[in-house]
Structure 1
């Protein structure tokens, strides 16, 4: 079978979209939920109580550091 390239390429379509006023936006991602089962880089193992507590403590420490930096400014 003979492959004939189409007259429009992806780059042409993107440029046409931008010329018509389109924008390229970067989306935000959410953190993965604990119940998804990501523990020790393995699928299917939920976080243990100790891992959940350690994660919560790390988040609390990050919050206090963030607040302390705001106060310094």
Structure 2
């Protein structure tokens, strides 16, 4: 779990710098994270997309599975 905490802090710091926003607080849960931030006119959808993409790539490389399940045929 420590590497997940470190990775989360690193990703949040990296993307806050990139998007010029401030994290007011965050809570890392077992399956998700809550983030309270001051966006300062930045695009939060791109901020969250970048964090989620980076974490998904990290997870997929460090395990043999994927973050998301495969699509179900209808």
Same-fold call, TM > 0.5? no
Q: Larger C-alpha radius of gyration, 1 or 2?
A: 1
Q: Which has the higher contact order (CA 8 A, sep 6+)?
A: 2
Q: Report which of the two has the higher share of strand.
A: 2
- Please, what TM-score do these two structures have when normalized by structure 1? 0.35
